[in-house]
Each structure stands twice: as structure tokens, then as C-alpha cells.
């Protein structure tokens, strides 16, 4: 996907960019979607949330219990379409906020490499909170079905995501905007 994006971007849109790619990351339940929506309103920008896309496109077909491989195949499809649509927005001069989770360092590095390869202005935003606060938010969001609810996250799913998440180190946070909620 990154090679395709890079070639497409360079051939079609290099040189006319003034928009910024805002990349939101952090652990599950930290408030990434709320932060993204707020940032998109303030910037202004178009926000893309992987949770929204997954819920709208695949929630009705989701197996119970959720199968990791089934989920990841669909996440990859959504990400490919989000990148394509986000690239068009950026090329038109509209800033973009990507709320893709980016739980692993390798995923964040891949986004950074894509942006740097096409000389795209970008800003990383790290959104975080304590594990207790995040766990409580996820449970409340699932019960209340609040504005940012898109997929039910069970305690087992939360625990699984905690195991997948890789916190950024000091080097990764250089130049990053940090939002920590309590």
C-alpha cells in the first residue's frame, strides 16, 4: 500500500500541497476518536476513524466471538480505502486527521515513512490516559453507546489490545503533540 500511495502521490499531486496530515495514536480507550473529531473541527480537516469505517462496513457481518484474522483482513481493506480518500483530500489542499489506532511502533513508522517519502507535512499526536481511566471509558462507552461508540469492546478485547499496544519511546515522541487525559 505505501509504494502505491507514494507513486500515485508523486505522479498526480506533488508540488501543490499546503494541507497537513495529522496522525493520532495511543492505547485503546485513551480518547483518540474524541480528540480526532475535535481537532478536525478546529483545524479544519477531514477526520478518518478506522472504528467508524469498520462499524459501518462490517459490524452486521461480524462473527461472534470476533476472529482476529477476520478483523485484520477488514482493517487492512478499510485502511487502504482511507489512505486513498485521505490522499485525495490532501491533494485538494484539505488537511486530514487519521485515527487508525496505530497501536504498534512499526505501524506508526510506516505512516511516518509514507509522509516523508512524498514530502507531506505531518504532525503526530499521542493521546493517552492511565489504564484504569481507559478501561472505565471503554466499558462506559459500550454500555451507554455514546457518540464515539462504534464497536462493542469486551473486557477480553480490551485486555488483548493492551497486549498489542506498544508505547512510544522518547525518540518517537520528539516533535509529537501529547494529550494526556485523567
Across 44-48, 132-136, 178-182, the highest mean pLDDT is recorded for 44-48
User: Which pLDDT value is given to residue 11?
Assistant: 44
Q: Answer positive or negative: Cα dihedral of 14, 37, 145, 129.
A: positive
CA-CA distance, 28 to 142, in Å (whole number)? Answer: 13
144-168 pLDDT, tens digit each: 666 655 566 677 777 888 888 999 9
Give CATH for domain 2-180.
3.40.50.300
Instruction: Work out the number of other CB atoms within 10 angstroms of the CB of residue 43.
Output: 16
| Helices 2-13, 68-91: crossing angle, 10 deg rounding | 10
Residues 73-103 have pLDDT tens digits of 998 999 999 999 999 999 999 999 999 989 9
Task: Report pLDDT for 7.
Answer: 47
pLDDT digits (tens, 9 = 90+) for 8-23: 445 445 555 579 999 9
User: What are the distances in angstroms from CA 162 to CA 104, 141, 153, 159?
Assistant: 11, 17, 12, 5
pLDDT, tens digit, 9 for 90 and up, residues 46-73:
999 998 898 889 888 888 777 778 888 9
Rounded Cα distance, 31 and 36, in Å = 8
Domain ranges of the chain: 2-180
Extended beta strands in the chain, E state? 21-25, 45-49, 95-99, 122-128, 177-180
Amino acid at each position: 500500500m505505501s509504494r502505491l500511495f507514494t507513486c500515485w502521490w508523486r505522479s498526480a499531486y506533488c508540488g501543490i500541497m499546503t494541507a497537513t496530515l495529522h496522525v493520532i495514536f495511543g492505547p485503546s480507550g485513551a480518547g483518540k476518536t474524541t480528540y480526532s473529531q475535535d481537532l478536525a473541527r478546529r483545524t479544519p480537516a477531514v477526520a478518518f476513524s478506522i472504528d467508524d469505517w469498520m462499524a459501518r462496513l462490517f459490524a452486521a457481518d461480524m462473527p461472534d466471538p470476533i476472529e482476529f484474522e477476520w478483523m485484520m483482513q477488514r482493517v487492512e481493506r478499510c485502511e487502504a480505502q482511507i489512505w486513498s480518500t485521505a490522499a485525495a483530500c490532501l491533494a485538494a489542499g484539505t488537511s486530514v486527521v487519521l485515527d487508525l489506532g496505530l497501536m504498534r511502533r512499526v505501524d506508526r513508522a510506516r505512516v511516518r515513512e509514507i509522509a516523508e517519502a512524498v514530502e507531506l507535512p505531518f504532525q503526530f499526536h499521542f493521546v493517552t490516559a492511565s489504564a484504569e481511566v481507559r478501561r472505565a471509558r471503554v466499558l462506559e462507552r459500550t454500555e451507554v453507546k455514546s457518540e464515539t461508540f462504534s464497536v462493542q469492546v469486551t473486557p477480553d478485547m480490551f485486555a488483548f489490545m493492551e497486549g498489542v499496544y506498544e508505547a512510544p519511546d522518547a525518540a518517537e515522541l520528539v516533535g509529537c503533540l501529547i494529550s494526556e487525559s485523567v
